Amino acid sequence: MPATVLVLVETINDYLPILEHQGFHLILAPTPNERAAAIARHGDRIDAVLTRGPLGLYAEEISALPALKIICVIGAGYEHVDLHAAADRGITVTNGAGVNASSVADHAMAMLLSLVRDIPRCDAAVRRGEWPKIMRPSLAGKRLGILGLGAVGMAIAKRASNGFDMTICYHNRQNRKDVPYDFCSTPTELARASDFLIVATPGGVGTRHLINRQVLDALGPSGFIVNIARASVVVTADLISALEQRRIAGAALDVFDAEPRVPDALKSLANVILTPHVAGLSPEATQGTVEMVGRNLVAFFSGEPVLTPVNLPSDLSSAVL
């Protein structure tokens, strides 16, 4: 009998035939109402759940799925998946770390370029029939700080170093000996050493509010910050205050605390660029993430080790920023 997969993700429909061709039976529930109804109606026969970090899977939902054996998370982040509840039940959790790294890194660099060169304001001016000569900094030769040097952080570093001749420094839970970049022991030290700061670390308890007023003040009035990771890494109130008071030069944000709601204060600021959590969305990345889910599901239901297991609470302390 084919395994039944509850699909909570709303952006992958074009690629779901990959899973169907592998023999999995899919139940699609991309809205909160459909999700609750599917769990209530089909909970006793759902073997697997496909979700993403912001959508998660909560303890009460896990308890309502007695047949659940594996949770597959698209993308690297799994901050709203209750790992303790999964561990208590012996449920395997996987993610898609690294699969969409190129797409996220492309978006990060696009946001950085747009922010530093003030592309949106130039575009709006030309559309109004104006022709302003706006003087903006160059990226070449600048110092880029990366918070979190995983697959995404590495992809950003390569683009910035090789393509823009930027000097790279980073903060990570661990000092990586396999990279040619300078390690900073704290986020504050990283910000102080940076002209531009990109947040590329997973969300979750271990990275919550790493970027606060102290870090933003260390970045300084000429500094720019880009967040393509998780909003929880940044204290939003501190960021808004720094932007309003021009204690930093600008911010580009793809992630927010209560998506899809975005604080009006951010929308009103001219030194902010906003995108709707789309950094990881590209045809290539989406196909790759669904293929990774398929490989994990096939391995699991064949009795083989999954390819990208998530550490459950007993060994979360070994996770890398």
Active site (catalytic) residues: 230, 259, 277
Sheet (strand 25-28) strand order: 25-28, 4-7, 48-52, 70-74, 92-94
Distance in angstroms (rounded) separating the CA atoms of residues 194 and 224 = 9
Distance in angstroms (rounded) separating the CA atoms of residues 189 and 246 = 20
DSSP for 277-288, written as a single string: S-TT--HHHHHH
Helix pair 101-116, 151-158: axis angle to 10 deg: 50
> At a CB cut-off of 8 Å and minimum separation 6, what does 48 contact?
3, 4, 5, 6, 24, 68, 69, 70, 71, 72, 297, 300
Let me know how long the chain is. 321
Query: Are the beta carbons of 209 and 234 closer than 8 angstroms?
Result: yes
